[in-house]
Structures are given as C-alpha cells and as structure tokens.
A and B are shown apart, each in its own frame.
Chain A
Amino acid sequence: MKNSISQIKKALIEKKISVGELYDEYLAKAKSGNNNSFNLVIDRENNISSINDSQNRYDNGNPLPLDGIPLGIKDLFCTKGIRTTASSKILSNFIPNYESFVTQQLLNDGSIFIGKNNCDEFAMGSSNETSYFGPVINPWKNKNSQKDNLVPGGSSGGSAAAVAEGSCVASMGTDTGGSIRQPASLCGIVGLKPTFGSCSRWGIVAFASSLDQAGPLTNCVEDAAYILNSINKHDFNDSTSSNHQREDYLVDINNSFEKKIKIGIPSDYLEDVSDDILNQIDNTKKALSKHGIEFVDVKFKTTEYALSTYYILAPAEASSNLARYDGIRYGVREDGESLDDIYLNSRTKGFGDEVTRRILIGAYVLSAGYYDAYYRQAQKVRRLIKNDFQRILNEVDFILTPTTPNEAFKIGDKLDPISMYKNDIYTVPTSLAGLPGISIPSGLSKNGLPLGVQFIGNYFEEKSLLQLAALAEKELSFNE
C-alpha cells in the first residue's frame, strides 16, 4: 500500500504524478493531524520553488537521488528559517538561521520537507509523551482494545507515526539510546541507527553528544539505504565525524551474501521475555536459516550494567548540553528580579519534568565527590561494554536481538520513569558501543500490534547490515 522511494521516483519519471501532486497528497495527511505527529507542517506555497525546481529536473530528465520525495524531519534538526523546538517550551519560538548538515544533504539531493515531526522533549523519552506539544498517537490499534490510544515509542515517535500513517515517505530521526529503533519497532516500520560518527551532528539539538546519531525511519530497508546514501558524509565541522570512505548502500542491497553468514543471538537478552517477543526471534531465525545463515548462542558479560551506565552518561552530557538554554539570547525567557531568578524561572518553566529530572541526575553524577563513583565508573563500564561487543563480533557477523521488550502500550500507562527506561534495554547497549543497529518489522503480537527485531553489525558496516535487513524483510513482511 505504501510506496517506496524507488516506486515514487519511477512514477515521477513516468509522469504518472507530478512533484506538486505528490506533495499535496502527503501534506493533506500531515495536516489532518490525527496522530499529532507533526509540530509544524509546511504549506505548499512555502515550498513552491523547491517543488518547481524538482519538477523541472524531472522534466529535463536529470532528477537528483531523492528528488521531490516528501520527508518529515524530527524537530531536533535545525532547519533554516523553519521553527525548531526540540518539542520544548523553552525553544518554542526558536527559528534557526542555519541548516543542519544532515538536512542540508537531504535538500541537496532534492528532497522536500513536509514538516517537523513531534518528538520527546530534547529527545528524552521512550513514548513521545514528554513533548511540550502533546503526545503522539500510534496509528496502530490493539485489536482487543480498539479505543485505546497507544504510544508510538520515542523519542522519534512523531517520525515513526508519520511514516506509519503515510504523511511522509520517510523521516529523519535521531537515536541516543534507541530513539529511532524503538519507535520504528512499535510502529511497524524500519529504523536505522548508523555507527556513531557516520552522520554529522552539526545542527542537531544535542542531547548526549557521545551517543547522538541521526538516522532514517522508513517504510522499507531500501528506503533507509536511499537516505543513508545522502546523509552519511564526513563533516569537518563535527570533530567526531569519521572520515572513512563511504559506500553506496543501494548497490548489492537485494543480493544474497557471497560468504557464509553467522548471526549471534544473546541468550541473556531473552530471559524473562514474553512469547510475543520470543516469536519474533524465532520467526527471524527460521526465515534467514532458509538462506543458509547460521545462528549461534552468544553471551554478553555486561548486559546488566548497560542501562545504569547509560542513565549516568547520557544525563551527565545532557546536563551540560542543555545549559545554553537560559532564556538570555534566544528561546523563551521568564522575567525575574535578578539574574539568578531569570535563569531559575526560564528553566523551571521552560523544561518539562523528564528533562528536569535528567538535568538533575546529570549534575549530580558530575558533582565533586560523586564524579568518581558515577561518571568515571560509568565511562569504564562503557569501555567494557564496547569490548564485550567486540569480543562477540569477532565470532559472529551480526547480532540479532528483539528491538523492544514489549509492544506499544497505552498513553499514560508507564508513569514510573524506571519502567519507561527499561523500554530501551535492547537498544542502549548498542548505542553505548557506538555500533550500528537496524530495527525491522518482524511480526504482530497477539494483540495485532507490530513488533520488530534488531540486527547489530560491526563499526561502519552499514552496507552488509542493510543487505541482511533487506533479506530478512523479504521473508518477514506483513501487511496491516
């Protein structure tokens, strides 16, 4: 039902549809706003020159790689002249005068932005319930409880819901501890977090600098490769951007592997999980075994430490990264009697509860007397987690895990922060290791809700990771 980028491009080339008509079609859905997946949509008039330029390139027979493709952009990417809020009150009036590196690449390749996707405030959340602009609703319904509104996951929940509801062809998200993969899984779409250092962080509102990574949320694996081809480039303005040679991720994506592939399944990830989740792993195993892929048990030594390590390091970095939102130079300022009052009022009223909580945790773990026990210790454990992954990836080509421990839950269901944090239990270790991970839909739960599995590859091996995901996708595809 949903068209892939290559199908849409074919229709545009064959003039079955114009760029403007395509835009209107998606815009209408985005504007209906049933699921609150956009913080802002861009009217046709405001994109008219992009639409015309794109159409001209099709008419002249020289379209760009993503020409005319309507994309959603997580409201964490700074977009020149377009309000960028990070779904926070404190940035609710902020219009950047610059374009993030990643979105600039997408514009250079001809894509057209349909709007800014809702997300958790400053990307802090796993259910998209922390947004200043209200929660996003998962387009999927529990077949046993149709009236319930479910979360789309987070923090890129607006992106995932928008792709799933068909209001954009693909959306750019960011992933710090699972923020692309987890909502992709809960919304039944594909989400790729590239290796840390692949895609420049320049112009993305920072959450945790050593973990943040941009990546696509798409309807299919091939679309993820299209987007990755555009955004995966070295950037001198990001000191952590890798300058390795990039590959064309579309070449070979539909070919089978030439060498024998071995995939490890961490048995410790599968203790105490529901049958729904176990079924996903079994389905995937069965599907890929048909292609001669071998599966082996692997065991991590560090899994139990990953979540606490993450919830020390990410808030520590966030507490410092968010210090610039002080109401002085831009954003929303609340008045006060003194300078300290201005800071206090602007930040107290400007940030929501979850963001405040993480700033406090972060300031605490960096404080004199606590630094060694928390931050320094967590850095050491992070190193061990990296080594743990390296050890296993020396034995196997990929690792297969569930993406999430559960299906989409009801909005308002998880009020306790710790149980919310546990939603990222399968995605956080990969983020700490800086490895690439992709979530693809693998089946439906007993309640008829989508679930996904995650493939993890070695550093900068997105090409073979996409190839594997594409292979699995063919076997596992389901339609609503």
Chain B
Amino acid sequence: MSNNWEMVIGLEVHAQLKTSSKLFSSSPNQFGSEPNENVNFIDSGMPGMLPVMNFGCIEMAIKTGYALNFKINKHSVFERKNYFYPDLPQGYQISQFEFPILSEGYINIESGDNQKKIRIERAHLEQDAGKSIHDIDPKYSFIDLNRVGTPLLEIVSYPDLSSADEVINYMSSLRQLLMYIDVCDGNMQEGSLRADVNLSVRKKGQELGTRCEIKNLNSFKFIKQAIEYEFQRQINIIDGGGEIEQNTMLFDTSTGETRAMRSKEFSHDYRYFPDPDLLPVNLSQEQIDKIKPLVGELPQDKLNKYLDNYSLDKDIAKIIIAEKQNANLFEKMISESTVKPKFIAAWLVGDIFAFIKENNLEVNSLNDKTKDITDLLRLISDDVISNKAGKEILPKVLNGEGKPSELVKELGLEQVSDSGELEKIIDEALVGEEENILKFQGGSDRVLGYFVGKCLKATKGKGNPKLINKILLERLKK
C-alpha cells in the first residue's frame, strides 16, 4: 500500500537566460540556428581563449533574486567543474559552487486550497553545454556547439515538495515569475527551462530516505509521469526488502519509465576550483539597488490589483495574470477605454482567448487591435448591439476585416432600442395570448421567457432583450 508512503522532492531548475550573447563570449544566444553557427573561438575551446563575463547575466540574476525573495550576494565566484565530454569543449563547465550569486530564497505555491512556502537554497550562474546527436549516423556522433556557453541560472530548492502536483505548481510559478521579469522565455520544448527532480520516499513521519535524481525533464507532463513512476519504483524496492541506491536516473519518454544512468560509485569527482581566468564578482549595494526598478510588477501584485481595484473574479484574474502578455494586453485595453475592466476581462478570457487558441496566435499579436476591441466592447456594453451580435462581429474585428461600428452597419446588427417601436411589436405579440397572460399573472414565470423569445423573433433578433423584458413586464402586470 502506497498510502503510508510519502515522497520528498527537491528540484533543480535550469533556466536559460534571455541575453543577446553568451555568458562568457560574444556569440549570439539564440535557438534554432544552423548547427555550429553560433560558435566562436571561446565556445569551441581553442587554445589561449579566455572567458569575459557578460554583465547582462548578472543583472538578470539580480532581478531573479528580487522576484524569488533571495539574498543577493555581493561576492560570488565562478569555478570550474571539470569533466570530459565532446559537447564540453573546454573540458570544464564554468559554474558557481562555493559562493553562488543568490542564496536562501522562497516562493509561495498553491497546495490544495492552501498556500505553501517552498524554500529555495540557492541559485547560481553557469554555462550550458553543447548537444551530442547520436541518431544521425550509426557509426558517428555529431556535435552541435551552438548551446555551449549559453547562460543558465540553476535554481535549487530545498526538499519541500511532497507531490507531483506541488512540483508542477512550483515549476509553473517559477516559469511565470521568470517570464514576468523577462529573464527567461519559459519555452520548455526548446529546453529554455528544464528540471532535475530529486526524489526519495519515506513512511510518514520517518527519516529521509535515499534519493535518486531524475535528470533533464523538459515538460510538465514528463515531470508528472517521472515522479509517479519513480515514487512507485522506490516503494516497490523497499517493500520487496531492497534498499534504494543513490542513482542518477534518466526518464524514457517513450516508455514513461525511469532507469539508472550511473550510480554513486561511478559519480564524477568534478574537482571544482575558482576559475583563474575570471575575477570574483564583487557587487556594490548601488549596483544591486539599481536593478530593483527593472523587476516590475509581479503576478501576485497584479492579482491583488485586479481583485481590489478592478473587482475581477479570482478565477478570471488568475487566467489573465498567468502570462505576462495576457496581463499586458488586458491593461492596455483598460488604459485605452472607459469600458469597465470587469466587462473587458470577461470577454478577454472568453471569446478573445478562444479566438487566439483556435487560430494558434500569440497573445501579443493582438496588441495593435486593442482599440478596435474596446470599441466593440463599448457598443455591447452600451446596448447598441446585443451580446450575440458582439460574438458574431468579434472574429471579424480580430481578423482586421473592419471597424466595429462599420461592421455593425454592414451586417445590420444594430439593436432596436427604440421603446416606441418595441412597444408596438410587443403589443402585436400579445394579441391572442390571453391564456398565457393569465398563467403569468397566476405566478408562472416560465411564460415570461416564452414571450421574450416571441418578441425577439419578431425583431429578427435585433431587439434589445433588456428593454423587451422591461416593457413586457409592464404590459403583463396590467
């Protein structure tokens, strides 16, 4: 029974920083180039080449420090982590070890209905390695060094996570924060955000067990699958009288299983030592303070603002703050029009997001259409057109087929809100309905719906339903 078992998980998240050049060289830091296109003499480990630190990476680390409640260390040191591999041309990875740039942070995540504080031990800067490609040729491996030297921020949590869902919440909160402060593009498919999961199991209330580390997971789905599989695997071993070996595991995405890559006996001795080619990073308080304004509003700040100032429903507010570009679009619309934020929000998370999803668009691509969108929303909220008509026109507006007011005229969707005209139609509709009128007066509310429907039909759907409702009630109560 796995009921008495609990899992204890710590996460090492590698976030690729969105700098224009690499951590220690001037070659471009971009995904999707031709193999070995973004490689210079430093990246390829040529003799006599020296690293020069890209200060942009330090600034991004400091921003992260603010966003994840870290202590930002004025003194940090780049060290060499020595090991041999063909996609590591220097023969060592430059990383921070004894003195990381950030220590002792935390974020709050949702766990069920509660908030849970996840403590983060440290975050440090390091170089990414290149890529080895083994499946092009049966005899040879191919090496792409484009990724060599890409700046990574490795964020190491304490073992405070105790379920796959918590891990997913933690990871997505991290992703959201890093994207908000514009230090990582959050693209997990392209490997911009990857996680190593350290997992051990124990009977509730007992000492920590031996952990295994599952390397390099780059999707929420895989993280969840890997955790669930590994949890069960460890329980099965212990239940079967075995002991957990401290192993480094790989997750096989095709079978959904984890398997041992190397055990502790074969683990590397990385022989870390301070990189003599680089000076220690010594920051002044002014340098650190200067970065603070660049952090901007964080998701929690926005959530509070949306709830308190704009009276949004919490669920809707959360959808909007989930990604910074959503919030930016929303706030742009608010700033450009007098339509109520709550009304804008409802349309945004409803029909507008549906349109974006259906057409596979980027939220950002609507940034130049906000004026048209809010013009349309104004027509709806002023009852110039019906909700239904609004839904009909919205895709045309988003496709740039015309201005909302023109489209309304073109399609003849303007609502009949002239009470004289509506009264005439209603009176005609009530002729011969004495029986139903009596039913209504006898207390049957259902009849009202029947009458509204009949009147709307008579206006070919263009009658303002609210007004029809109002006039009907006056007539029927007589």
Contact surface of A with B, Cβ cutoff 8 Å: 77-78, 84, 86, 91, 94, 96-98, 100, 201-206, 208-210, 236-240, 316-317, 319-320, 322-326, 328-330, 339, 343, 363, 366-368, 371, 375
Contacts and interface: CB of A to CB of B under 8 A. Distances in A.
B276 interface: yes
A339 B44 CA distance: 18
Given A239-B277, A240-B279, A366 B48 contact: no
B248 to A, nearest CB: 17
Given A98-B46, A343-B84, A320 B271 contact: yes
Given A94-B47, A96-B47, A323-B82, A316 B91 contact: no
B277 A240 contact: yes
A39 to B, nearest CB: 15
Given A239-B278, A320-B82, 13 more contacts: A77-B48, A201-B48, A202-B48, A202-B49, A206-B47, A210-B276, A320-B273, A323-B84, A323-B92, A328-B89, A366-B272, A367-B269, A375-B273
- Taking chain B's interface residues, is the majority helix, strand, or loop, or is none over half, making it mixed? loop
A240 B278 CA distance: 7
Contact of B46 (A328, A330, A368): A330
Contacts of A343: 84
Contacts of A203: 48-49
A324 B45 contact: yes
B319 interface: no
Nearest to A331: B47
Contacts of A322: 91
Contact of A238 (B50, B80, B91): B50
B47 A91 contact: yes
B50 A324 contact: no
Contacts of A205: 47-48
Nearest to B25: A237
A98 B41 contact: yes
Given A78-B47, A339-B86, A320 B277 contact: no
A237 B50 contact: yes
B40 to A, nearest CB: 10
B91 A326 contact: yes
Nearest to B274: A379
Contacts of B176: none
A324 B273 contact: no
Interface of B: 41, 44-53, 80, 82, 84, 86, 89-92, 143, 269, 271-273, 276-279
Given A323-B84, A324-B91, A329-B45, A201 B273 contact: no
Given A323-B92, A329-B89, A367 B271 contact: yes
A201 B49 CA distance: 9
- Taking chain A's interface residues, is the majority helix, strand, or loop, or is none over half, making it mixed? loop
| 8 shortest interchain CB distances as A-B pairs | A323-B91, A209-B276, A366-B271, A210-B276, A324-B45, A203-B48, A205-B47, A324-B91
A53 B464 CA distance: 91
Nearest to B51: A239
A97 B49 CA distance: 12
B91 A320 contact: yes
A98 B89 CA distance: 18
25 contacts: A84-B47, A86-B47, A96-B47, A201-B48, A202-B48, A202-B50, A203-B48, A203-B49, A205-B48, A206-B47, A206-B277, A236-B52, A238-B52, A239-B50, A239-B51, A239-B278, A320-B80, A320-B82, A322-B91, A324-B89, A325-B47, A326-B84, A326-B91, A343-B84, A371-B273
A87 to B, nearest CB: 13
Contacts of B273: 316-317, 320, 366, 371, 375
Contacts of A323: 82, 84, 90-92
A100 B84 contact: no
Contacts of A324: 45, 47, 89-91
Contacts of B278: 239
A231 to B, nearest CB: 15
Given A239-B278, A316-B273, A375-B273, A97 B90 contact: no
Nearest to B143: A328
A71 to B, nearest CB: 18
A237 B82 CA distance: 23
Given A320-B92, A323-B84, A324-B90, A204 B271 contact: no
A239 B53 contact: yes
B84 A206 contact: no
A83 to B, nearest CB: 12
A239 B52 contact: yes
B52 A237 contact: yes
Contacts of A91: 47
A5 B281 CA distance: 42
A267 to B, nearest CB: 33
A419 B59 CA distance: 50
A200 to B, nearest CB: 8
Contacts of B271: 319-320, 363, 366-368, 371
Contacts of B46: 78, 96, 98, 330
Contacts of A325: 47
Contacts of B276: 208-210, 240, 317
B213 to A, nearest CB: 18
Nearest to B24: A239
A237 B52 CA distance: 6
Given A343-B84, A366-B271, A239 B91 contact: no
Nearest to B132: A339
Nearest to A205: B47
Nearest to A85: B47
A213 to B, nearest CB: 13
B61 to A, nearest CB: 18
Nearest to A100: B48
B368 to A, nearest CB: 41
Contacts of A375: 273
A236 B54 CA distance: 12
